[in-house]
Amino acid sequence: MNALILVDLQYDFMPGGSLAVPEGDQVVPIANQLMSDFDLIVATQDWHPTDHQSFASQHPDRKIGEQVELAGLEQILWPDHCVQGTRGAEFHANLNQDQIDRIFTKGTDRLVDSYSGFYDNGHQKSTGLGEYLQEQQVKSVTVLGLAADYCVKWTALDAVKLGFETRLIQHACRGVNLSPGDVDRAYREMQNAGVKIIE
């Protein structure tokens, strides 16, 4: 069985959002178009408490983009985004949500961030996505969404580690590029790990 994983197609990652990914909204119609090609469609949703420790606002002496240690890991500080129950955490209205079989929330623990759709950044807790795909007897997954150099990358890398044949649709992803070249490096890292990049 083939599954499509839609990563974080939420308002805060779209143009005008608090952590806007350039051209993020252009991914939505591509996602809608691709859904009919898959047996199963799942979506990940960043779903942070208001006091999530990855937010720069929780560290008065720090700025967005700086690094701190969180749960023993290096953590980039982000603007407040995808706070539970806010419009920014909602999926884009144009996304065809009727086709989504299951939604997996992540980033719900205030003390550790969660880029991957499968685990928190410390790999301590599963979101349930991997177990669900295995229960559904999924063998291959295709990943798309936001952002290519963070949540998409870590989701694809974890999919490979869990034994799924993993593809990524490059024209259906957009990146943050916090440092120039981040997106290109992310694609190379995924490819080297065994992700098949479809242009």
Q: Which member of 109, 149, 151, 158 is catalytic?
A: 151
Q: Which member of 106, 120, 153, 158 is catalytic?
A: 106
Return the number of other C-beta atoms located less than 10 Å from residue 33's C-beta. 11
Q: Which residues contact 199 (CB under 8 A, 6 or more apart)?
A: 170, 171
173 a catalytic residue: no
8 a catalytic residue: yes
Q: Which member of 8, 12, 25, 149 is catalytic?
A: 8
Cβ atoms 79, 88 nearer than 8 A: no
Six token digits for residue 193: 């790990």
User: What interhelical angle do 151-161 and 182-193 show, nearest 10?
Assistant: 10
Which positions are catalytic?
A: 8, 106, 151
